[in-house]
Structure 1
Amino acid sequence: MQQLSLALELPDSKPVNPQWFQNLLSVLEVRQEPAWTDNFGKSLRQRLRQWGIAPVKTLSLFSGGGGLDIAFHDAGFEIVKMVELEAKYVQTLQKNAQLGKWLEGSEPICMDIRNYVPAPDLKVDFVIGGPPCQTFSAAGRRAAGVAGTTDSRGTLFQEYVRILKLLQPKGFLFENVYGITGANKGEAWQEIQEAFKEVGYSIYFRILDAADYGVPQHRERLFIVGVKQGKYLFPYPTHGFDSLAQQPYYSAAQAVEGSDTSDIEAGLGGRFGHLLDDIPPGLNYSFYTKEMGYPSPIFSWRSKFSDFLYKADPDVPVRTIKAQGGQYTGPFSWENRRFFIPELKRLQTIPDAYEVVGNRQVAIEQIGNSVPPQLGRILALSILDQVMDVDLPFDLAYLPPDKQLGFRQRKRKLTKTYLQKAQAAIIELSKQGKVKGLDASIYEEKREFVRFLSIDDFSWIEEPVANSVKIHLSCELDSSSWIIKANTNSNWDEPDKFSIDVYPSCGYDDWVLCTNSVKLCAKQLNTHVFTSLWKAFEEKLNEATGKADLVQLSGYYQYNARISGIMNFYCEEKIDLFWRVVQCVTRCIATSAQLKVKEFAEYWGVNEEDVVFYLQSLRAIGYEVRSHNTNPQIPLGEYLIPYAFPTLNPKSVQLRKVL
């Protein structure tokens, strides 16, 4: 792209050379090489001292592992105290506050902010920090809306405001996920803005992408800067398409080059670990979906979080590093392995010399929760310049208030690129014979076998464990039908007590089984047998197609279900109403939507006072049933049954929650 060569006249600022960031690097004598951000921080701190700029006394709240503290410390702020609740994170702060360490002179305080009262003699000019963001995060939105300030963690900003009111600093910086702006239909965001204004601050806010500021990671976060006097403009991006000099992004491969890889990490392992190898860099589990063109889909579209089996592309910044995640939570290296901790630090621009204390998971939590220091440094310099009125010996460029950044639009256009990558990879894998359709070996003569169903965690296993039920199974699978039978004994001469016919809901276009129907037959009207039939179907589905589970066959619950079941009874005795409820659920009646008790009663034809009992009974046979207790985003009095079949298993998050 052609570089701009003329100086720009921006509102409320003097003319700025488009090469302002390159000039800053020149002043600091920093070259953009691997780990250049470490040198940027060191040199910046040294030069500010040499220029006689007095440190700005600063209080850090919700300090975590210290990302913002590193940034502001390097940019001439003196972090006098760091308040953090988690003792395991405070150990990192204490280690790095020692003599000769990165945050030398800072004082970590392990305390709940609700109990923190600044000493009467504490005088600070600035406050930094961002409260825990889980209630505003993408995970919260995916669960069922956003809890926002209805969750106790979402009201921690009020403690931030309380401390601002007590200390009355010149300004503050507040960081959080951008989901905060949409929480509670925007009401939480209005509440937060008003709270800051009520204690005397004019606020300025923007959603920024860390990659635009020299971080090898796309990470969108909301930043609020509050000032007692004057105005504030956010700095121009230093890198990427919106930078004035069109400086290329700092790529993931450049960032990790030369980092410490002595602590060798094994491959992923587990049920899905092998799938990582064939995923093209930059893509995730969606590579194995119909929408990406995979001929024998393993997953359904949007049935997993976007970081599930996400493999980083070495030529561009990685996607957001998550603080929490499971075995298959990326980013993973393009070398088909987990990133080493030193590599993750580089991708977050945490200095190599900064010690992150704790085991791998604790370290990842601190890294993933941090504000990338390089982004923080640029923001800190802009605050030093505008809020603290420090005469810096170099120019900064500021975004006009109405200037729109383009990272969102560019992200929306990536789907086409991902599709092209996927199709090219599928062609290559097909040439190598790695892409296969339905496994024909699944078709077999009638076969009998035994499995055990754990009553405690719904595990489906070949050997008995404590509190498990022995289930006898019979399977006849061919291209015309799958017939799976279950019994608590081996007497197959008994008549069926019920059956479930499973069909595609929208025709056979999405039906991957290459058979006309699936019939699940039970020899007893028994809840364990019912659950076992679905478990056996899931097992055979995985063997035949590689699909991870029944959810991948049906699709994520927020879309129309692609399968439904018709349950028929053959018992002479009267059928209990609970089984009539189960019959409704298998037909997708009152599933996939948040409903009130009255609505469930109407759909199922039962009394309102019995609905909660039926919901608890469904939960007891393996159905995932959500409520306000399991997901605070769901209003009190409403419940959600995501799927028409039991989905609970030992790894289910919902298994550990109480309805």
Structure 2
Amino acid sequence: MNYIDLFAGAGGLSEGFIRAGFFPVAHVEMDVSATQTLCTRVAYHYLKKKNQLEIYQQYLQGKISQEQFYSTIPNSLLQTIINQEISDESIDCIFEKIEMVMKLKGIDSIDLIIGGPPCQAYSLVGRARDPYSKEHDPRNYLYKQYVKFLKKFKPKIFVFENVPGILNAGKGKLFEDIQQYLNEAGYEIEAKILDSSKFGVLQQRKRVILIGWKKKLRLSYPQFQEIAHHYLVKDLIRDFPEMKPGERIDYGSYVKEPSEYLKKYKIRSDKDPLIQHITRPHNDRDREIYYYVIDVWNREKRRLKYTELPERVQTHGNKESFLDRFKVVAQDLHFSHTVVAHIAKDGHYYIHPDIQQLRSISVREAARLQSFPDNYYFEGSRTAVFTQIGNAVPPLMAEQIAQEIKKMLIASS
């Protein structure tokens, strides 16, 4: 079973489908760093299949360059990663590239299309900061490009992922338009808000998962089984060495054995090195604030409001809204709050729970909250990597969605 991934980002959604046994025909992504992450991940899966992961380890250790690493992979495989913005001007060119891959691979038809257009345009926070509610933001209309792929490749099923804000944007008119476009393209659709914490991810992250299928197939939206568990956020982070702000371990070792959670959900194996444990620097004032925030959580199990901080560290003039701008990732809960792309700008919303470290979470800790496996390498600057992680669909959630889509495809054949 094959698929095309549109607006692919760092590949969180795709990773879940690969784990479920799907074959990616193409990934389309406009961001250069995210595209390189996809190339590196495609290379990882290729080398794993060939029992040549020692080449991947050499790359992670910095023993070979990215160019040397990619040269070990068939060029035809790297061509499946298409680094282009999807627009009226580029879409025919993208179609041609996908058709070329299909021809090379002997693929007659596409089973599935997955992906979601960039969601900032209809995120609740995004609208709150825009007096016009982003009604005229061109990103609001990328769903029309998505529909063009459905009309071109006619997959049996598609999965369209987005933020809950898409349902209410433009007083609900935007989502009505999306539904109409998809119906006119020949698909029955249903959308539900799913929470990643119900899928074993130790993070509360709500996403609209819209699933469509060709009208003649008479399918229905899958029933997802909620995963009940006893794991806590500390099961994700207790094996990391302590770090100071601004420190980094590009390739190193853990200080403890993997927890039961990490092993059960295949996030860390005994063979995995510690990679990209990279922290951002903080000034003394922020570290002092972090101390207060962590201390109040540890003693009182509540979130400290900005106005409760000592006045000498209150530098923001706005004391009426966004009073929770500093937030600890609580290790004694079953899930963290949502990791979003804003983590690339500062770490105030993602403070590490250890009062001895006084820092925000590292790249690898953020990736774990998103359920990325420890062998997943993200390309680009620290800021670019945090953005990729914050925008991703948790692979653990994606895998379970993929398993149900597989059942639907089998039922339709």
* 1:377 counterpart SS class: helix
Partner of 1:352: 374
Shift of 1:235: 3.2
Provide closer, same or farther for how the CA distance between residues 354 and 183 of structure 1 changes in structure 2, counting only shifts above 3 A: same
* Structure 2 spans left out of the alignment, 5+ residues: 50-55, 57-72, 103-108, 243-248, 250-276
Specify which of 80, 83, 86 is matched with residue 113 of structure 1. 86
Quick check: 1:65–1:89 contact (8 Å CA) kept in 2? yes
In 2 relative to 1, CA 378–139 (structure 1 residues): closer, same or farther, beyond 3 Å? same
Report the counterpart of residue 93 of structure 1 in structure 2.
38
Q: 1:250 to 1:192 in 2, by over 3 A?
A: farther
Considering fraction of residues, name the structure with more helix. Answer: 2
Q: Which residue of structure 1 aligns with residue 349 of structure 2? A: 330
One-letter amino acid of the counterpart of residue 33, structure 2: K
Q: CA deviation at 1:388?
A: 3.4
Report what 1:199 is aligned to.
185
Query: Is residue 364 of structure 1 aligned with residue 350 of structure 2?
Result: no
Distance 1:259 1:108 in 2: 33
Indicate how the Cα distance of structure 1 residues 340 and 297 shifts in structure 2: closer, same or farther if over 3 A, else same.
closer
Aligned-residue offset at 1:287:
5.7
Residue of structure 2 in register with 1:499 after alignment:
none
CA contact (8 A) 1:113 1:159 kept: yes
Q: Using the aligned pairs only, state the percent identity.
A: 28
The SS at the match of 2:23 is strand
Q: Which amino acid aligns with 1:321?
A: V
* Aligned pairs for 1:606-617 within 5 A: none
Match of 2:235 in 1: 254
1:454-474 Cα shifts (integer Å, max 9, x gaps) = xxxxxxxxxxxxxxxxxxxxx
What does 1:289-304 correspond to in 2, within 5 Å?
Answer: 289=308, 303-304=321-322
User: How far has the Cα of 1:362 moved from its partner?
Assistant: 1.0
1:342 pairs, out of 364, 369, 386, with 364
Contact 1:283 1:312 in 2 (8 A): no
Q: Report the 3-state secondary structure (helix = DSSP H, G, I; strand = E; otherwise coil) of the residue aligned with 1:112.
A: coil
- Does the alignment pair 1:276 with 2:249? no
Q: How is 1:485-564 mapped onto 2 (pairs within 5 angstroms)?
A: none
Indicate the larger mover: 315-324 or 172-181.
315-324
Asked if 1:80 corresponds to 2:25, the answer is yes
In the superposition, the TM-score normalised over structure 1's length comes to: 0.46
Provide the rounded CA distance (Å) in 2 between the counterparts of 1:345 and 1:257: 14
Distance 1:128 1:304 in 2: 34
Shift of 1:366: 0.6
Give a deviation string over 1:486-508, Cα, whole Å, max 9, x none: xxxxxxxxxxxxxxxxxxxxxxx
Amino acid at match of 1:116: I
Change in CA separation of 1:72 and 1:367 when aligned onto 2, cut-off 3 Å: same
Shift of 1:283: 5.1
Q: How much does 1:134 deviate?
A: 0.6
Select the structure with the greater relative contact order (CA < 8 A; seq sep ≥ 6).
2
In 1, Cα distance between equivalents of 2:124 and 2:230: 25
Change (3 A) 1:94 1:296: closer
3-state secondary structure, aligned to 2:327 = coil
- Spell out, residue by residue over 1:512-560, the C-alpha distance to the aligned partner (whole angstroms, 9 max, x if none): xxxxxxxxxxxxxxxxxxxxxxxxxxxxxxxxxxxxxxxxxxxxxxxxx
Deviations 1:178-201 (A, max 9, x none): 001111111111011111111011
Q: Which of 316, 319, 326 is 1:309 aligned to? A: 326
Paired amino acid for 1:127: I
> Please, which runs of 5 or more residues in structure 1 have no aligned partner?
1-55, 240-246, 392-659
Q: How many residues align?
A: 325
Question: 2:278 & 2:221 partners in 1: Cα distance?
Answer: 45
Distance in 2 (CA, whole Å) between partners of 1:271 and 1:295 is: 12
For 2:346, give the aligned amino acid. Q
Of structures 1 and 2, the larger Rg is shown by: 1
Name the SS for the 2:81 alignment partner: strand
Is the contact between residue 148 and residue 180 of structure 1 (CA under 8 Å) also seen in structure 2? no
Q: Displacement, 1:285?
A: 5.1
Given the superposition, is the C-alpha separation of residues 390 and 194 from structure 1 closer, same or farther in structure 2, using an over 3 Å criterion?
A: closer
Partner Cα distance (2:303, 2:387) in 1: 21
Question: Hey, what does 2:206 align to over in structure 1?
Answer: 220
Asked if the contact 2:191–2:209 (Cα under 8 Å) also holds between the matched residues in 1, the reply is yes
Which shifted more, 229-238 or 75-84? 229-238
Flag as ranges the 4+ runs of structure 1 deviating above 6 A.
Answer: 294-297
Inter-CA distance 357–331: structure 2 relative to 1 (3 Å threshold): same
Equivalent-residue separation in structure 2 for 1:200 and 1:329 (angstroms): 46
TM-score where L is the length of structure 2: 0.72
Conservation of the 8 A alpha-carbon contact between 2:4 and 2:26: yes
Q: Tell me which moved more, 341-350 or 381-390.
A: 381-390
Partner-residue secondary structure (3-state), 1:64: coil
Q: Which residue of 2 aligns with 1:60?
A: 5
Do 2:17 and 2:399's aligned partners in 1 also have CA atoms closer than 8 Å?
yes
Instruction: Indicate conservation of the 8 Å contact 1:215/1:250, yes or no.
Output: no
Deviation, structure 1 residue 357:
1.0
Match of 1:235 among 223, 230, 244: 223
CA distance in 2, matches of 1:184, 1:212: 29
Matched-pair contact (CA < 8 Å) for 2:117–2:142: yes
Equivalent AA in structure 2 for residue 170 of structure 1: K
How far is 1:386 from its partner?
Answer: 2.1
The 3-state SS of whatever aligns with 1:202 is: strand
Aligned equivalents of 1:181, 1:218: Cα separation in 2: 19
**What displacement does 1:59 show?**
0.3
